[in-house]
A and B are shown apart, each in its own frame.
Chain A
Amino acid sequence: MHKKLLLGVEAIGQGAIDGGISGVYAYPGTPSTEITEYIQENDTAIERNLHRTWSANEKTAMEAALGMSYAGKRTLVCMKHVGLNVAADVFMNIAITGINGGMVVAVADDPSMHSSQNEQDSRYYGNFAMVPVLEPSNQQEAYDMTIAGLDLSEKTGVPVMIRITTRLAHSRSGIILVSSPRIENCLSLPADPLQFVLLPSNARKRYKNLLALQAQFLKISEESIFNTFEEGTDKSLGIVCCGIAYNYFRENFPEKSPYPYIKISHYPLPENHLKRLESQVDEILVLEEGYPLVEEQLKGFFERGKKIHGRLDGTLPRAGELTPDLVAAALKIDKPVLPNLPGILVNRPPALCKGCGHHDTYRALNEVMGEYGKGKVFSDIGCYTLGALPPYNSIYSCVDMGASVTMAKGAADAGLFPSVAVIGDSTFTHSGITGLLDAVNEKSNMVLIIGDNESISMTGGQDSSAFGRIEAICEGVGVLPEHIHVLESLPRNHDLLVSLLRKEIAYNGVSVIIPRRECIQKMARRKR
C-alpha cells in the first residue's frame, strides 16, 4: 500500500496529476494556492511538462483551461471562493458549451473568513450553473474525487466542481494513491463544430441539452459511491452530513451513530437517500459547512414537512465554520464546562512584516493625507490591506480585487478631493488595469499608488504576472509619462515620496506613483 502525507489541497493536486491532466490554471488565493504549487513542484508534472504557471486572474485561468479542454486534454482550474466570482462569466457559460477534455473546477471556500472578505458558499455556483459538485470530507476523498471528477466530467460532458473549505485545504493526512494513474488525453477537436459557439440560436439548443442532462446528473448522484446511507436505531432524528461536516458528526460518534444518517459528497442532492431518511425519522438535522443550501432545499417555503434543523433555526450558528463542539451541541451531547480564559489575554492580529516596503509607503501617505482629513484613500486586497489597522489607519476600503482604482475614480467623479487608491502590483494586473483605463479616458482627478513588491506576497510569494512592467502597462493604458513615477520604497526616500504625492495630488488628472521594493519575505526565501 502506497501512502503519502498530504494537505487536502495537495491531495487535489496529486489527484489531478494521477487523473491525467495536461495542465493546471490558477491565480493564487488562500486557501486554494497550494493545489497549483504542489503541481508546480511535482516531479511527474515537471517530467511531463504539464502546464503549471500562474494566470493573471481566475477568469483568464478558467478560459485557458477551457481552451485546453476544447483541444481534448484534461485540465484542472483552481481558485478561492471569491475567485469564482471573477471567473463566474466563463463558469456559467462552460456549463452550457460543455467540455471536450475533462475539466475539474476546484474551489476552496473560507468559512469564518480566515483570509477572505466573505464566506460565500461555492456550492450555490455549482447549483446555479447546474453542474455536478463533489465535496470531499477528507484528504483521501479529495484525491479520489479529483480523479473521479475528471472521469465524471468526460462522462457527462460538463465541468465538475470540487468544493473544499479551509480546514480540509490546510490539514494533512495520509492518503493511498491509485496504482495505475490515468495517462494524458491525445489532442482532439470537439466532434460538433458548433458546440462552443454560444450564438443565441445555438445557445438555446445547448441550454436545452444542459437541462436534459439534469436527470442523468441526479441518477449518477443517487448511485454515487460518495453518497452513503447508514442505518441507525434511534429514529427520533435523522442526520444529513455534507462534506467535512461528516467528520464533526462522526467525531461525536466515533464507533457508531445511534441515528440514521446520510453522508453527502456528490451533488445534485441524492433524492433516493433523502426520501429514505425522511420516511423513517421524526426530525432531520442538516450539518453543512457554509451556507444552509441543503437545509433550505429540504425545508421548502411553507415548511409543511417534518422539522428540519440546522443553521436557519438556530440549532447551529448561521455564520462561521463548523467545529466538533458546535456539532456536539446541535446533537445535544453534554460537554464539560470549560474554564474561563485568563483575563490578560489580548488579540494578536496580523501585521506588516518588519522592514516591509508598504510601511514606508503608508508613512509618507499618512503625512500627506493628514492635511486633507480621513476617508480619502481606497485600497485593495493584499498584505497592504493591513494598512487599515493600527498603527497606520491609512486606508478606507477593501472590497474586491481592483476596486481601489475604480472606487477612487467614482469618488473623484462625485467630487471627492483628493481621491487616492493604493493597490499592489499583482492585484493591479489581476483586475486594476481596466479600471485605470476608465479613469484615463475620463481624465479623473485621482492618484493611484501601486505598491510594487514584485510578488504575490499574502499567498506566499508567487511571481507577479507583470514583473518589471507595471509602469509600461500604465503608460500603455494612457497615463501621461510625466505623471508616472517609480521610486524605491525605503525610509531614505520618504521626503521624495511625500513631495511626489503632493505634486500629483495637485495635478488634475490621473497620476501613478510606484513605490517599488521586493517583498522581504520573498527576498529572504530567494537568498536561502
Chain B
Amino acid sequence: MERREGEIVGAACVRPSSLQIKAEKKQGNSETENKCIKKKKNMKCDIVLAGVGGQGILSIATVLGLAAVENNLYLKQAETHGMSQRGGAVQSYLRLSDKPIFSDLIPSGEAQLILSVEPLESLRYLNFLSAEGYVITNTTPFINITDYPEPEDVMKSLEKLPRVVAIDAEEVAKHAGNIKSSNMVMLGAASPFIDLPLNSLEQAIRDIFNRKGQEIVDINLKAFHAGRAFSEEKINRLK
C-alpha cells in the first residue's frame, strides 16, 4: 500500500443528520481552519467497515484515510491482519475527529456508520451503531460457510433497521464498467453520510488507482459516483 504524508490537525467531520454536502473550503491556513473548528461542535466520525477477508475493505479505508489526512483531521484506523483474513469475518474501525483520538477501537453504540460490503456482515457490528447511525450495505451475499442464513432472511433483518441504505454494489459496478469496482460503489453510497469534501475523496481514489492506469481510475470514479447517486436519491425520497 502506498504510504502518504500529511498534516493531521484541524477541522471538519460528520453530520449524519445533514445529508447535504456543503462545498468545503480547500485546505487553508491554520487560522481559517481554527475558526472552522470553533463554529462546529463535537466533530467526530466513527465508522465500522465490515466484510469478509479478501473482499478488500481496506481500499475503502485507505481512500477515507487519505481524504481525512488531506483535510487535516486526526485519524485512527484499526484493521484485521493475520488468520481471519483467510475468508473469515473482518472489520476495520475508522475514527476521524478534529480532536485527538484516544482509543483505536470504537466504543459500542458510538459509530455513525456501519459500511459493509456484505449483507450478513453488516449485522455483526450493530452493537457499535449509535442510536442515529446508518447502515450502508451491499446486498450481494458472500456465501463461503455452510450455515449461511437464507439471503431473504438477512434482507428482512436489514429492513427492520431504522436507517439503512442497501445497494446491489456488484450490479451497479457492472454498469460502471467493472464488477471489481463494487467497493468504490459502496464508498460512494456512504459518502453523503461522511462530511469529507467530494474532491478529496475523488483525489484519494485517483491516488490509489493511479498506478493501474487512467481507465481503471475512471471506472472507479464512475462506480463511486453511481453509488453516491443511489444514496442521494434514497435520501431525497425520504425527505
Inside 8 A of A250's CB, which chain B residues have their CB? Answer: 102-103
CB distance from B151 to the nearest CB of A (A): 10
* B76-84, B198-206, B217-225 - the one binding chain A: B76-84
* B19-27, B121-129, B176-184 - the one binding chain A: B121-129
Q: Does A179 contact B (CB under 8 A)?
A: no
Docked Cα-Cα span, A171 to B94, in Å, equals: 9
Known A254-B102, A344-B149; contact A328-B78, beta-carbon cutoff 8 A: no
Known A3-B8, A348-B88; contact A114-B80, beta-carbon cutoff 8 A: yes
Whether the Cβ atoms of A5 and B69 lie closer than 8 Å is yes
Docked Cα-Cα span, A460 to B53, in Å, equals: 13
Whether the Cβ atoms of B6 and A5 lie closer than 8 Å is yes
Docked Cα-Cα span, A434 to B86, in Å, equals: 30
Q: Does B65 contact A (CB under 8 A)?
A: yes
Whether the Cβ atoms of B89 and A353 lie closer than 8 Å is no
**Cβ-closest chain B residue relative to A383:** B86
Whether the Cβ atoms of B78 and A167 lie closer than 8 Å is yes
A-B contact pairs, 21 of them (CB 8 A): A3-B8, A4-B5, A5-B4, A5-B5, A5-B6, A5-B8, A114-B80, A247-B103, A323-B105, A323-B107, A325-B107, A335-B108, A342-B123, A346-B147, A348-B88, A348-B89, A349-B88, A350-B86, A350-B87, A351-B144, A383-B86
Q: Is the interface of B mostly helix, strand, loop or mixed?
A: loop
CB distance from B38 to the nearest CB of A (A): 17
How many residue-residue contacts, CB under 8 A, span A and B? Answer: 159
Whether the Cβ atoms of B86 and A348 lie closer than 8 Å is no
Interface size in chain A (residues, C-beta < 8 A): 54
Q: Does B146 contact A (CB under 8 A)?
A: yes
Whether the Cβ atoms of B104 and A353 lie closer than 8 Å is no
- Given A3-B5, A168-B104, A350-B53, output 13 extra A-B contacts at Cβ < 8 Å: A5-B3, A10-B3, A172-B77, A174-B75, A251-B107, A324-B106, A336-B131, A342-B123, A344-B153, A346-B148, A346-B149, A351-B86, A351-B87
Q: Does B11 contact A (CB under 8 A)?
A: no
Whether the Cβ atoms of A344 and B75 lie closer than 8 Å is no
Whether the Cβ atoms of A1 and B78 lie closer than 8 Å is no
Q: Does B238 contact A (CB under 8 A)?
A: no
CB distance from B87 to the nearest CB of A (A): 4
Inside 8 A of A195's CB, which chain B residues have their CB? Answer: none
Q: Does A191 contact B (CB under 8 A)?
A: no
> Which of A2, A248, A348 makes the CB contact (< 8 A) with B145?
A348
Interface size in chain B (residues, C-beta < 8 A): 54
CB distance from B158 to the nearest CB of A (A): 9
Q: Interface residues, chain B, CB within 8 Å of chain A?
A: 3-8, 52-54, 65, 69, 74-89, 93, 99, 101-109, 120-121, 123-124, 126-127, 131, 144-149, 153-154, 157
Docked Cα-Cα span, A344 to B127, in Å, equals: 15
Q: Interface residues, chain A, CB within 8 Å of chain B?
A: 1-6, 10, 30-31, 33-34, 114-115, 167-168, 170-174, 244, 246-248, 250-251, 254, 323-325, 328, 335-336, 338-339, 341-342, 344-353, 383, 386, 390-391, 458-460
Whether the Cβ atoms of A386 and B124 lie closer than 8 Å is no
**Cβ-closest chain B residue relative to A338:** B127
Whether the Cβ atoms of A458 and B87 lie closer than 8 Å is no
**Cβ-closest chain B residue relative to A343:** B157
Which of B126, B148, B153 has the most A CB atoms < 10 Å from its CB? Answer: B126
Whether the Cβ atoms of A115 and B127 lie closer than 8 Å is no
Inside 8 A of A2's CB, which chain B residues have their CB? Answer: 5
Whether the Cβ atoms of A459 and B82 lie closer than 8 Å is yes
> Which of B7, B52, B103 makes the CB contact (< 8 A) with A1?
B7
Docked Cα-Cα span, A328 to B144, in Å, equals: 36
